[in-house]
A and B are shown apart, each in its own frame.
Chain A
Amino acid sequence: MIAIRKASTSDIELINQLAHEIWWDTYKAVIPDEQITFMLSKMYSLVALEEQMNKDITFLILAYEGVDEGFAAYEKHDIDKSYKLEKLYLSKTQQGKGLGRVLISRVEENVKFLGASFLYLNVNRNNNAFNFYQKVGYEVIETVEIPYFDFILNDYVMRKELK
């Protein structure tokens, strides 16, 4: 049984915990440890998460068999009818069961209702999630190196047309 709900500020601690667990599993082989620590503190501290919710980023939480196992976040991207998927993470033990597909489908449905023609995302070029995004219909539109404090984010920009 999969349930997806919109997160509120009372879920901030939960998202913080999920991120700290999932990020190490996801990025340990992809980016340096110190970058993981730094980005977690920048983007997933309780204060940072609250700020993001206050500036119109919508968070969804996915529960499987009654246990909260993952989250997604999206926001308006630009005036030409696009939204951006900011986050999509699932517990390592729950990956490969189709839950990611259900979660991203929900995001797509939601932003379609909000008038989006495209959903954009950035993904690290060495992140396995890249294959997942390809499988569910996203295509690479740009290869970017984004300076981020002392680090460089080696990303693909991907997008999907929502029909």
Chain B
Amino acid sequence: MSSHHIVREKQEPALLIVNLDGFNDEYLGQLLEWSPTVIVTDTMIDEVLSLGIKIDAVLENKDYNISDQQEHILRIPYSQDALDKGLKHFVKEGYPAVNVINKSFEFKEYQFYVDLIDIVVFIEERKIYPIPSGFSKWQRANEEIAILHPEYIDDLSFAGLEHIQENIYRTQKDGFFSFTFSQPYIFIAEYI
């Protein structure tokens, strides 16, 4: 086997680039550090290629023709929802985890996949991920934590945090914060 061949054991989280607008280059570099499997949407392919990123597959809308120069790239057709198709692809291929870069977050887009694959969504300065009730994590003082979909959550309680406004919380001191609630999981955001 060629020594140039990169053997991917699917241990590293795959990377799904849905929308790269406004995303920090340094964070992008970190997500690419371990040569993950990279899938991008058709609308992002030119931008991603121009950054010199190696792409494994492109999510291609039947109505949108990507340049013929990229013939060697695997094409995964989708009809309406590229993100959904991408998540489904990684689940079917047996990936344990995926990082998603996007411009917005909708709870509905991820709900079905939470127990099938570990998901972290990166949107500009925010890192969004699902947590089970009772989850706790160490964080520095004065860091903001947001709950993404407060309207779906019952019996919410929290510790190590101060409730700032609506769905925004702030750590009071260096130490652990935690949430408990009655849903099977919720999505929270922290700032990177």
Please give the number of chain A residues whose Cβ is less than 8 angstroms from any Cβ of chain B in the complex.
9
Are B152 and A116 in contact, CB atoms less than 8 angstroms apart?
A: no
Question: Which residue of B is nearest A79, CB measured?
Answer: B88
Min distance, Cβ B120 to any Cβ of chain A, angstroms: 17
Q: How far is the CA of A81 from the CA of B87 in the complex (A)?
A: 12
Are B183 and A113 in contact, CB atoms less than 8 angstroms apart?
A: yes
Q: Which residues of A contact B152 (CB under 8 A)?
A: 113
Tell me, yes or no, whether A114 is within 8 Å of chain B by CB.
Answer: yes
Main secondary structure of the interface of A (DSSP, over half): loop
Q: Which residues of B contact A79 (CB under 8 A)?
A: 88, 91-92, 116
Min distance, Cβ A119 to any Cβ of chain B, angstroms: 13
Q: How far is the CA of A56 from the CA of B152 in the complex (A)?
A: 23
Q: How far is the CA of A113 from the CA of B115 in the complex (A)?
A: 12
Q: Which residues of chain A from 66 to 123 have any CB-CB distance to chain B below 8 Å in the complex?
A: 76, 79, 81, 110, 113-116
Min distance, Cβ A105 to any Cβ of chain B, angstroms: 15
Tell me, yes or no, whether B184 is within 8 Å of chain A by CB.
Answer: yes
Cβ contact of A114, chosen from B88, B91, B92, B111, cutoff 8 A: B111
Are A114 and B108 in contact, CB atoms less than 8 angstroms apart?
A: no
Q: Which residues of B contact A76 (CB under 8 A)?
A: 115-116
Q: Which residues of chain B from 71 to 127 have any CB-CB distance to chain A below 8 Å in the complex?
A: 88, 91-92, 108, 110-116
Are B108 and A115 in contact, CB atoms less than 8 angstroms apart?
A: yes
Question: Which residue of A is nearest B108, CB measured?
Answer: A115
- In the complex, besides A76-B116, A79-B88, A81-B112, 11 extra interface pairs with C-beta distance below 8 angstroms are A56-B115, A76-B115, A79-B91, A79-B116, A110-B184, A113-B111, A114-B114, A114-B184, A115-B110, A115-B112, A115-B114
**Which 5 pairs from chain A and chain B are nearest by CB?**
A115-B112, A115-B111, A81-B112, A79-B88, A114-B111
